[in-house]
């Protein structure tokens, strides 16, 4: 199963005072749009068996470099563990960002428009209680290596549909207005990560990991 989530995240940056304005209500609402393939039919079954791949983002000449976009290591994976015990039999729902691509465009005094395409895989282990799960993740814009300018949270509804794993391609547009024409994309960094507990973050920080379908009870071949 492959799904695509798309939205726009607007960020108002004023570097002269190192502050950021709050998104407008219209901006906040755009985070809930979702595009899916029509259900049913042989074409969808064939697509579900095909490994998900990140799309190619269009590039154009800019007034300067693009912001650096990356997945935060401590929040790159989501692993639920019963009693916080790291054993395959204790694994519930899992998730992992496995790739991100980005492209940007800006000229003159235009804001910096960053197109982000991220690929995430999800799994359900022995402790998973159903086939549906809503995962939560965030996108943060920072003044590079210093302050966080804005951070917003988004939901990913996943329906495993009888399978042990699922994949979702996430598309987001981040718009960063500039205080002046001399401000380039190199002043900013965009981070992506799951909304994890402190225990999950420590698990990731230690380099521990499970496959997304660790502990799955699905029949062989699914």
What DSSP assignment string belongs to the chain? Answer: -EEEEEEEEE-EEETTTTEEEPPPHHHHHGGG-EE-PPS-SHHHHHHHHSPP-PPPPP----SSPPPEEEE-GGGSEEEEEGGG---GGGEEEEEEEEEEEEEEE--TTPPEEEEEEEEEEEEE-TT---SEEEEEEEEEEEETTS-EEEEEEEEEEEE-TT-SEEEEEEEEEEEE--SSTT--GGGEEEEEEE---HHHHHHHHTT----TTTT--SPTT-
pLDDT of residue 86: 72
**Which tens digits make up the pLDDT trace of 141-174?**
998 877 899 999 999 999 999 899 999 999 999 9
Average pLDDT of the residues in 40-65? 50
Q: Global pTM?
A: 0.70
Q: Is the pLDDT of residue 126 over 90?
A: no
Ranges 61-65, 127-131, 167-171, 213-217: which has the least confidence: 213-217
CA distance 94 to 71: 16
Residue-wise pLDDT for 30-51, tens only, equals 333 333 333 333 333 333 334 4
Cα 195 to Cα 75: distance, rounded to the nearest angstrom: 7
What separation in angstroms does the CA of 27 have from each of 45, 154, 170? 35, 13, 17
Cα 78 from chain centroid?
A: 12
Domain ranges in the chain?
2-22+57-205
Query: Could you give the CA distance from residue 217 to residue 213 in angstroms, rounded to a whole number?
Result: 9
Measured over the CA atoms of residue 96, residue 128, residue 151 and residue 23, the dihedral's sign is positive
User: pLDDT band at residue 99, thresholds of 50, 70 and 90?
Assistant: confident
More confident residue, 34 or 202: 202
| Beta-carbon contacts of residue 206 (< 8 Å; ≥ 6 apart) | none
Give the whole-number percent of the chain exceeding pLDDT 90.
Answer: 43
pLDDT, averaged across the chain? 74
């Amino acid at each position: 199963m492959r799904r695509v989530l798309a939205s726009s995240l607007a960020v108002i940056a004023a570097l002269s005072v190192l502050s950021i304005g709050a998104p407008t209500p219209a901006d906040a609402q755009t985070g809930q749009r979702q595009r899916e393939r029509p259900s049913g039919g042989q074409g969808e079954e064939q697509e579900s068996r095909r490994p998900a791949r990140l799309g190619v983002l269009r590039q154009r000449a800019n007034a300067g470099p693009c912001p650096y976009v990356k997945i935060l290591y401590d929040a790159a994976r989501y692993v639920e563990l019963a009693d916080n015990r790291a054993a395959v039999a204790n694994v519930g729902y899992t998730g992992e960002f496995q790739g991100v691509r980005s492209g940007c465009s800006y000229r003159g005094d235009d804001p910096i428009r960053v197109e982000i395409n991220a690929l995430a895989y999800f799994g359900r282990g022995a402790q998973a209680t159903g086939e549906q799960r809503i995962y939560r993740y965030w996108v943060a814009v920072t003044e590079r290596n210093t302050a966080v300018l804005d951070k917003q949270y988004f939901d990913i509804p996943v329906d495993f549909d009888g399978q042990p794993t699922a994949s979702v391609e996430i598309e987001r547009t981040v718009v960063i207005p500039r205080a002046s024409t001399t401000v380039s994309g190199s002043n900013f960094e965009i981070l992506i990560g799951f909304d994890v507990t402190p225990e999950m973050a420590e698990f990731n920080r230690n380099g521990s990991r499970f496959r997304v379908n660790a502990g799955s009870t699905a029949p062989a071949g699914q």
